[in-house]
């Protein structure tokens, strides 16, 4: 609980340079100078609050609440210093719950005003002021000043969020760089060297070692900035023991521990640190496929923080499968087969996995059953059902589609109209040739009356031409309607979406098949054709009737 010596309201209002403190810390006497020199969130809030309250003539007290990492809100700045402002908790809580400004006026008591700090739709704090006035003008002035000055706190929040995003981006970038460096190498040893060198550079370590699991123990495999090393030296053996300490506990072991009361065993790690002269050590196991495949051992002079340990554990989650993949790819056929059989045998004999035992037993029984039980060999293939006889209805001449009442799937009778072509031009052409025929006949008669043989022959030829064209036009008019040649079903053709479109002479408009004869075409794969013999029985299952099978031979 924060406390202070209570000054009177006028005295509090005339203290523009009062120091804002939290948990016993003080800011510079000049709040404007402190505001300009602020480097942390606490310093900025402790400098900003006195500046704001100093600009409000009726300000009695104020407090800034910011959200902690656990989601709770705690005061980071109080004005005047060492003040008990617990009575402002209710109005602050109400503003945070409602997400909007709250004003409380009680007769005879100072006016309380709380304003929530919203950054991108998420509350991160609140500013609470206590004013020794009930005048609306003074309250409005205080609100305007608060709205004007809260930009400093919003900028603080944005910079904090930007810092978090930059930290995450840097961590992700290093993770991708580390993974790509390991994947780019051709073998596990080169990949291990690439990993430890980058870890040493990124975390400021003078040495990073990587040990691989071999026979339920860890042996040093790679040392940063060293192409080769002597495996028989005392330091290498001590490093292997320190790695085995993390390997056996399957947990990250750190010396010195970042938190008090750690329950992990660190004897081997401390012994190695004493021999190597490293002040800070961190051993991180890399787990993949429910087993530890490797261990990192990092050495430097400054202690490892909790954030760095979490970053190393995150990197280990990504790099463990990559190392496992490299090691598996380098295994010989015999070793790979042996490890696969060992894994299967271990899972089969594991008492905690009765389901796998039952599955293996059922699999063995199934193999025996399939080997002894006689069964028919079935050849499956796609099938097409079509009419034994198919006829087409084509366009009798070049024209345009006027009507198309029939479509695929329709049952039609002989002579039923399937489509009608446009006959407007043909009717006009018929009138034309009828007129020309009439003119030619009249000329022929006039030539006969005048006994003009040349004109008679010319008129007779024109009449014959007009008569032939007229007969052709009449023939086309008689074939305007495309009709069904027999009783059957339309298996292909739908002109309902092509009304008014042109068609060429001879274009297939419909395909028809009779209803009394069908044939089934089987499309057997060439690899299965040897199994098909003449006269063998089979079953036909139609897509439209999946529950019904038709026998065929």
Provide mean pLDDT across the span 434-447. Answer: 85
For residues 402 and 511, is the Cβ–Cβ distance under 8 A? no
Confidence of residue 24 (pLDDT cuts 50, 70, 90): very low
For residues 418 and 490, is the Cβ–Cβ distance under 8 A? yes
How many CB atoms are located within 10 Å of the residue 343 CB? 12
For residue 38, the model assigns a pLDDT of 64
DSSP state of 305: P
pLDDT tens string 89-113: 778 788 777 777 778 877 667 888 7
For residue 18, the model assigns a pLDDT of 35
Provide mean pLDDT across the span 191-211. Answer: 93
**CA-closest candidate to residue 219, choices 300, 327, 293:** 293
Provide mean pLDDT across the span 306-321. Answer: 90
Provide mean pLDDT across the span 280-287. Answer: 94
Worst-scoring range by mean pLDDT, 40-49, 211-220, 362-371?
A: 40-49
Report the distance separating Cα 210 and Cα 182, nearest Å. 13
Q: Between 377 and 38, name the one with better pLDDT.
A: 377
Q: Between 400 and 192, name the one with better pLDDT.
A: 192
Average pLDDT over all residues of the chain = 80
Provide mean pLDDT across the span 410-426. Answer: 83
Burial class (CB in 10 A: 0-12, 13-18, 19+), 299: buried
**CA-closest candidate to residue 130, choices 117, 119, 118, 146:** 146
What are 127's two structure tokens? 């500013």
Residue 355 φ/ψ, nearest 5 degrees: -65, -40
| Whole-prediction pTM | 0.45
Q: Tell me how far the alpha carbon of residue 371 is from its chain's centroid.
A: 46
Confidence of residue 236 (pLDDT cuts 50, 70, 90): very high
Answer yes or no: is pLDDT of 211 > 90. Answer: yes
For residue 212, the model assigns a pLDDT of 93
For residue 26, the model assigns a pLDDT of 42
Q: Between 292 and 479, name the one with better pLDDT.
A: 292
Provide mean pLDDT across the span 413-423. Answer: 83
**CA-closest candidate to residue 419, choices 507, 301, 354, 296:** 507
For residue 4, the model assigns a pLDDT of 34
Provide mean pLDDT across the span 401-407. Answer: 84
């Amino acid at each position: 609980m924060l406390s202070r010596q209570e000054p009177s309201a006028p005295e509090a209002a005339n203290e523009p340079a009062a120091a804002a403190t939290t948990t016993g810390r003080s800011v510079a006497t000049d709040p404007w100078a402190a505001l300009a020199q602020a480097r942390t969130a606490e310093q900025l809030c402790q400098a900003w609050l006195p500046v704001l309250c100093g600009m409000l003539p009726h300000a009695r007290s104020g407090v800034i609440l910011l959200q902690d990492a656990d989601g709770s809100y705690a005061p980071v700045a109080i004005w005047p210093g060492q003040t008990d402002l617990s009575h402002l908790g209710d109005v602050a809580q109400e503003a945070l719950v409602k997400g909007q400004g709250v004003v409380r006026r009680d007769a005879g008591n100072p006016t309380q005003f709380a304003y929530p700090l919203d950054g991108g739709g998420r509350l991160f704090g609140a500013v609470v002021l206590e004013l020794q006035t009930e005048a609306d003008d003074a309250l409005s002035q205080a609100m305007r000043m608060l709205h004007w000055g809260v930009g400093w706190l919003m900028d603080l929040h944005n910079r904090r969020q930007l810092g978090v995003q930059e930290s995450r981006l840097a961590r992700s970038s290093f993770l991708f760089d580390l993974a790509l460096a390991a994947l780019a190498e051709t073998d596990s040893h080169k990949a291990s060297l690439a990993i430890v060198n980058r870890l040493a550079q990124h975390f400021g370590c003078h040495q990073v070692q990587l040990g691989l699991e071999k026979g339920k123990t860890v042996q040093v495999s790679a040392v940063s900035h060293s192409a080769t090393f002597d495996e028989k030296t005392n330091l290498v053996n001590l490093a292997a023991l320190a790695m085995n300490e993390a390997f056996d506990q399957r947990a990250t072991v750190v010396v010195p521990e970042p938190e008090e009361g750690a329950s992990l065993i660190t004897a081997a790690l401390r012994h190695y640190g004493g021999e190597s002269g490293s002040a800070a050590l961190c051993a991180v196991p890399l787990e993949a496929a429910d087993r530890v495949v490797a261990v990192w051992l990092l050495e430097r002079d400054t202690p490892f923080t909790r954030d760095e340990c979490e970053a190393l554990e995150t990197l280990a989650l990504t790099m463990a499968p990559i190392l496992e993949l490299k090691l598996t790819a380098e295994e010989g056929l015999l070793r790979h087969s042996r490890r696969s059989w060992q894994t299967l045998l271990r899972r089969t004999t594991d008492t905690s996995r009765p389901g796998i035992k039952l599955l293996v037993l059922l699999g063995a029984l199934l193999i025996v059953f399939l080997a002894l039980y006689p069964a028919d060999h079935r050849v499956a293939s796609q099938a097409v059902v079509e009419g034994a006889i198919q006829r087409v209805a084509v366009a009798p001449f070049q024209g345009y589609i006027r009507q198309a009442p029939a479509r695929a799937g329709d049952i039609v009778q002989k002579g039923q109209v399937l489509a009608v072509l446009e006959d407007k031009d043909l009717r006009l052409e018929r009138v034309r040739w009828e007129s020309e025929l009439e003119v030619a006949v009249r000329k022929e008669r006039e030539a006969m009356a005048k006994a003009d043989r040349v004109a008679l022959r010319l008129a007779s030829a024109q009449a014959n031409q007009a008569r032939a064209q007229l007969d052709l036009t009449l023939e086309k008019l008689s074939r305007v309607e495309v009709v069904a040649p027999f009783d059957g079903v339309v298996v292909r053709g739908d002109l309902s979406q092509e009304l008014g479109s042109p068609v060429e002479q001879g274009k297939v408009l419909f395909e028809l098949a009779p209803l009394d004869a069908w044939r089934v075409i089987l499309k057997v794969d060439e690899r299965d054709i040897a199994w098909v013999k003449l006269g063998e029985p089979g079953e036909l299952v139609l897509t439209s009737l999946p529950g019904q099978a038709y026998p065929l031979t």
